[in-house]
Amino acid sequence: MNTISDLRKALGLATDNQVRNRIEAIKDLLYPHLRRGPNNQILVADTGLTLLRQLQDLHDSGLTMAEASSIVRTSADISALDDTTVSSRLASNQTKQAERDNLIAQMREEIEFLRSRVAYLEERQAAGEGVEGARRWWERLRGEIDGA
């Protein structure tokens, strides 16, 4: 485990605050690699040091800290996807297929219901147009607004 001063030397930084800023920039990635030591001292595992070195290299190449941390996050996300085994992906896809089939069945039922509802409403509308003097549903409200 590396202390803040160890990290400062390993990264070639001048102050401890620079190390703390880099830890804060990718804290979400470093969280599994961070520990607290005696007197609440921050300790970072060697895998966390690797992430901080990547961040520092990108920052040294001319990127801002925000840009460098974004790139480190993206590369960490890609490597996390690469670590997934083929068998777990297959199981994941099977689960997604079952959920998709269930969703499709529900949507078909809803579409069938809506089609029958539209047909019913069209029949009512066609029957209502032939009646002389039939009031539309909103005409009743018009009378209430006018005070009649």
SS (H, E, C) 49-79: HHHHHHHHHHHHCCCCHHHHHHHHHHHHHHH
Range of the domain at 38: 4-83
pLDDT of residue 130: 47
Q: Are residues 51 and 117 in the same domain?
A: no
CA angle at residue 27 from 24 to 29, to 5 degrees? 145
Contact 19, 7 (CB under 8 A): yes
Among the candidates 83, 104, 131, a domain finishes at 83
Provide the residue-wise pLDDT of the chain in tens; the chain has 148 residues: 999 999 999 999 999 999 999 999 999 989 888 999 889 999 999 999 999 999 999 999 998 898 888 888 888 777 665 555 445 555 555 667 778 888 888 999 999 999 999 999 888 888 765 444 556 667 777 766 665 5
Q: Are residues 91 and 62 in the same domain?
A: no
Q: Are residues 26 and 63 in the same domain?
A: yes
Q: Are residues 44 and 76 in the same domain?
A: yes
Q: What is the CATH number of the domain that holds 78?
A: 1.10.1660
Q: Are residues 66 and 14 in the same domain?
A: yes
pLDDT of residue 101: 85
pLDDT of residue 83: 53
Is residue 148 assigned to a domain? no
Total number of domains constituting the chain: 2
